Each structure stands twice: as C-alpha cells, then as structure tokens.
Amino acid sequence: MKTITILSGKGGVGKSSISASLAVLLAKKNKIIAVDCDVDAPNLALVLGLKKYEKKETIQTSEKAKLIPSKCIGCKKCMDTCIFGAITWDKKKNKPIFDKYLCEGCGACELVCPANAIKLDKVKNAVIGFGKTKYKFPIFSGQLKMGESGSGKVVTAVKAKAENLAKTKKFDYILSDSSPGIGCPVIASIQGSDFIVAITEPNPATLNDLKRVLQVVEHFRVPYGIIINRWDINKEFSEKIVQFARKNNMPLLGKIPYDKAFVDALVNLTPIVTVNKKYEQLFSKILDNILKYL
Amino acid sequence: MRIAITGGKGGTGKSTVATALAVELAKKHKILLIDADVDCPNDHIILSAKLKKEKDIFQVQPVWDFKKCIKCGKCSEVCRANAILFIKEKYPIFVPDLCNGCTACTLVCPSKAISKGKQKIGSIFHAKKFNIDLYTGEMRIGYEEASPVVNALKKHIKSMEKKYDYVLIDTAAGTHCNVISALSGCDMAIAVTEPTPLGAHDLDLILKLAEVLKVPSKVVLNRADIGKKELIEKISKKYKTKIIAEIPYRKQIIEQYSKGKPIKDENITKVIREIE
C-alpha cells in the first residue's frame, strides 16, 4: 500500500479538485481510499459528490485544563507558568480563569499546582466521517470542532483510520488531500507519505508558498513532483516555474490550463474527469507520471 | 479599529482584498497592515514591498544537563507535544520542531536537569509602501505551531496600534489556532469567499468561528459572477450578515495579481463605505 499526498502551501490553487479527479482515475484500476486531511475546512467529500457520511465518530485528541475550585488555594502559580496566556486572574474570587480557546492542554499548570486543583479534561475536538463515494471508493474526512485545537493530531488520527482499513482490506493506494500552509496539519499529512504532489500556479505568491512547503517536504525526505494549475493565465511565469523545477531536479508532472469547465464541474460537484474527455486524458497522463515514482 | 480579513477557504482572495483595502484606505488614513498568515505570508509580494527584518521570535525550549539526568523518563511522559522521546536507560531525545515551549518537562524533572533555553520559531518583518506600514510574521520552516508566531506578531504591534486609524489583519486559511489567534480581539471580520459549494461550506465554518469569538462579520464575494451566488447568500443569511461587495472575475484582476500587484476595483470602495 502506498500513500500519495496532495499539497500546495497556498490555498485555493485546486488541491481538492485535482485530488478528486486523480482519485476517480486511480480507482479505475486500483483499490483506493481517499482521505481529506484539511480538517479545518474539509472539502474533498463535497467535490466527490458525497451527500452523507455512513459513519461519524467523535474523537478526542486534545485536552483542556479545568479548575476544581474547592481545592484552589489562590497561589497564582498556574497563571505564572502558562506561556499561552490562557490563564487570567479573577480578583473577586481569587481564582484563575481558563480561556478554553487559548489553552493548549500542555498540562504545565496541572504540574505546578501545589494543591492538585487543576485537572486536564479530554475534549471531543473532532469528528471523523466515513463514506462511500459513487465512484466506488471510500473516503475518510476529519473535521475539527469549532474553536478546538490540535489539528495535527486530528490529521494523524484520520490517516491512521485509513491506514488500518487499507492494511486489513489490502488496498493499493491512499490518496490524501492536505490543508494549505506549512504548519502542524501539513506536517502530519506529509509524514508517512510515499509521494507528494505539489500544486502551484503561475504567480509570485503561489510560487513563494510552494517553495516554503517544499522545504518542509525535503526535511522529511519524501519524493515529490509538481503540477502547474491554470498555467496559461501567465505563460511567461509558468515557464519560469518550469525552469526552476528543471534546475532543482524537481519532476514536472503536468500542466493544467484555466478553463471555466473546471468551475462548472466544481459547482455541480462532479470531478472534471467524469464529464470531460479532454481532461480525462490530461489527468490520466498526470497520473501515469505520478505512478512512475511509486 | 481592528479588522480581520479572513475566509475559511484558501485562495478566495483574502490577501488580494486586504492589500487593495489597505492601498485605498491609506490615501486618507493611517494604515497598519498585519500579514498574520505566518505559514505562507504573501502581502509583501502583492505590494512589491521589500521586507526588513525587525526581530526574531523566540520560544522557551528545554535544555538537558545530562550530568544531572537520572534517565527517569518523566519529561517524556508529561510532554503532550510528543517532543521528547525516551527509551529506557537512555538519555531523552529532544525534537525541537515539536516543542511548543510549555515548560511542563522542566517542572516535572526530579533532578532539576532541565533548564530553560530558547529556540527561534519565526521572525517579524516590516515594510513601508503606498503609505502603509506592513508587518509580516513568518514561521520558521519545519516548526509546527503557527499560533505562537501570530501571538508574538500581535504583541509586537500592540503598542503602536494607537497611532493608526485602521489595523487590517490578513489571516491564514482555515479555522484552527492560528486563525483564532488572529481573529480574537478584532472589531470586525471580513470574510472573503467565492460562489462555489466549497466557498459556501468554508464560509459557514468561519462565520461560526467569528460568532463564537463574538466578532461581527461581513461577507465579500470574490469572482462573484462565476458560480452560484445563492449559496453564499444563504450562508450569510444564516449568520444574519450580508454580502457588502461583489468583485467580478476579470482577466485584468488576475493579470495584476499574477504580476504581483495590488488590484484596483471599484467594489473595494463599497467595502470601505461599510467600515469607515
């Protein structure tokens, strides 16, 4: 079983749309599982036209500090220790106030409290959805609950679910769609991947973000290739990206043009390869290029 | 007045709107623009502004004195960030990129073998362009936690905020800790979205977050003419807010953006009318 992860650094460059089309094509000859690792704003199931998850499971990967008021002696050690600024002081009651959005659940306050007045409570911080798409492959999606923290750990949990199923039922591929950025959820998406597909667009901001995320990918030594999306919006700049890739020995997996057909496909919640022959061919070529590395 | 420009979904035009707003507002007002997308900051690229480093951001990091370490493994046990690996009868192994600086390990160590050092987690940059003061936070590559970098950035600008008429905070995509840090304490959130099911789905999430954080929100619809506007109207209604401007999909806007220039569009004035 091999894991292919789609990422980009910058948001909105077409990760989910491209993931959906690649998944549909890959599933034609292989047993695959799709995973949405953008747990902040998961969209892959939506793009694949999934209306309802078959199963939903609440998970707890985060903890929050909670006060046991009767034990508190008002020493303020907890507030002095918290580096996240999550503890303020209630002068009237002479007791700490915990801000649940700022609390990282590190447990330092619990350790420093001489009266054992602080406990860490497990928090139901995310939901993992499981469903079967109409393209005959299953999907796992993580969704962080509003205002909760620990997106990296949620990504790891969603991936573990998919990996378990893939191992027991002998699947060939896991295709995972990552979130924008370069921080904890993206790092959790990269870890354990066999190949990374990095999406970019021909403009300075997107190229800048691509370079940042590729540094993280290189840190974890995962092989990768690049797709230039909407390449014809600025052909000159696209040529620059091609040169940049060549100079750094980065495989160019393919170039996708700008076409309103992509917007229409997205609005209708159908991956473009299922409704457009031309793009079915283009994406098949891109997929072949990816599979060469696996 | 402190205004966050956010959106939930990535690539909807947050930075494009934030920079265009800043350029327009700066013609009459004193403007502080904060690029709080510390994962991938781009405002300086759109403004073609040259960033100068103001300072590095450091965070507490444990340092072990192995002469004192008794290899008990307690530091590893309490580390919820999984930054300390412990194998029996060996010294603990520290993974700096995972450490969030909480100091739990220093508190629990029975032999006082762990002292407080520091590690660089990011930097703050400044640039002046079009009469805008731009402050940009950038997370160090390989480091995991964006929100301490955002918090350090907000702390850095706190003392100077008073000098400005408007503080615009451009947030990252998504809804997790780094966006929460950027949104909290703002007087208004402008959610930039697009008329697609994905835009609507993520707008729902970010408006809910703004509601939870008690920040009033308004919606700006980008690429307004390519998709289904009703999707966005429905979500806006759900949160009792409205679309204050619609920016059409125009080749000229895309070209400006792809050349790294702030966009000019009459719809930006509509946004300004709402906040002035």
Which chain B residues are within 8 Å of A47, Cβ to Cβ?
Answer: 198
The residue among A144, A153, A170, A131 whose CA lies nearest residue A53 is A131
Q: How near does any CA of chain A get to the CA of B5, in Å?
A: 15
A184/B144 Cβ within 8 A? yes
Lowest mean per-residue pLDDT among A72-76, B253-257, B264-268: B253-257
Question: Please, which residues 129-148 of chain A have a Cβ atom closer than 8 Å to chain B?
Answer: 144, 146-148
Distance between CA atoms of residues B169 and B7, nearest Å: 12
- Average pLDDT value for residue range B26-39: 97
Taking an 8 Å cut-off on Cβ atoms, the answer to whether B81 and A106 are in contact is yes
* CATH number of this structure's domain A2-58+132-291: 3.40.50.300
A215/B contact by beta carbon, under 8 A? yes
Contact A212 B39 (CB under 8 A): yes
Provide the pLDDT confidence category of residue B262 given band limits of 50, 70 and 90: confident
Higher pLDDT, B274 or A161: A161
pLDDT tens digits along A215-259: 999 999 999 999 999 999 999 999 999 999 999 999 999 999 999
pLDDT interval class at B223 (50, 70, 90): very high
A47 CB near a chain B CB, below 8 Å?
yes
Mean of the pLDDT values across residues A135-143?
A: 97
Chain B contact for A268, CB < 8 A? no
Q: Do A40 and B257 touch (CB under 8 A)?
A: no
Please report the pLDDT score of residue B29 as a whole number.
96
Of B39, B180, B255, nearest to A182 by CB-CB distance is B39
Q: Do B103 and A108 touch (CB under 8 A)?
A: yes
| The pLDDT of residue B177 is above 90 | no
To the question of domain B58-120 being in CATH 3.30.70.20, the answer is yes
| Domain regions of chain A by residue span | 2-58+132-291, 62-123
CATH superfamily of B2-47+130-275: P-loop containing nucleotide triphosphate hydrolases (3.40.50.300)
The residue-averaged pLDDT of B188-196 equals: 97
Q: Do A205 and B178 touch (CB under 8 A)?
A: no
Give the pLDDT confidence score for residue B259 in this predicted structure: 80
Q: Span A49-53, mean pLDDT?
A: 95
On the question of a common fold for A2-58+132-291 and A62-123, the answer reads no
Question: pLDDT-based confidence at A149, cuts 50/70/90?
Answer: confident
Contact of B101 with B107, CB cutoff 8 Å: no
What percentage of chain B has pLDDT greater than the value 90?
86
Q: Where are the domains of chain B?
A: 2-47+130-275, 58-120
Q: Which residue does chain B place closest to A215, by CA atoms?
A: B141
Tens of pLDDT, residue by residue over A153-206, are 999 999 999 999 999 999 999 999 999 999 999 999 999 999 999 999 999 999
Higher pLDDT, A147 or B112: B112
Instruction: Kindly determine whether residue B15 and residue A47, on different chains, have CB atoms separated by under 8 Å.
Output: no
Q: What is the pLDDT of residues A52-66, one digit of tens each?
A: 999 999 999 899 999
Q: Residue A186: its pLDDT value, please?
A: 96
Interface contact B142-A219, CB threshold 8 A:
yes
The chain B residue lying nearest A103, using CA atoms, is B177
DSSP string, A168-210: HTT-SEEEEEPPSSSSHHHHHHHTT-SEEEEEE-SSHHHHHHH
pLDDT at B260 over 80: no
> Does B103 sit within 8 Å of A11, measured CB to CB?
no
Residue A101 has pLDDT above 90, yes or no: no
- How far does the CA of residue B212 sit from the closest CA of chain A (Å)? 8
pLDDT of residue A282: 98
- The model scores a pTM over 0.95: no
The CATH architecture annotation of domain A62-123 reads 2-Layer Sandwich (3.30)
pLDDT score, position A100:
86
Q: What is the ipTM of this complex?
A: 0.89
DSSP state letters, chain B: -EEEEE-SSTTSSHHHHHHHHHHHHTTTS-EEEEE---SS--HHHHTTPPPEEEEEEEEEEEEE-TTT-----HHHHH-TT--EE--TTS--EE-GGG-----HHHHH-TT--EEEEEEEEEEEEEEEETTEEEEEEEEPTT----HHHHHHHHHHHHTTGGG-SEEEEEPPSSSSHHHHHHHTT-SEEEEEE-SSHHHHHHHHHHHHHHHHTT--EEEEEESTTSS-HHHHHHHHHHTT--EEEEE---HHHHHHHHTT-----HHHHHHHHHH-
Cβ-Cβ contacts under 8 Å, A237 against chain B:
258
- Alpha carbon B207 to its chain centroid, in Å, reads 16
Interface of A with B in 100-119 (CB under 8 A): 101, 104-108, 111-112
Average pLDDT, chain A: 95
Q: What is the pLDDT of residue B265?
A: 83
Residues 6+ apart with CB under 8 A from B60: A83, B101, B103, B116, B117, B118
Residue B258, pLDDT > 90, answer: no
The nearest CA of chain A is from the CA of B31 a distance in Å of 22
CA distance A26 to chain B (A): 23
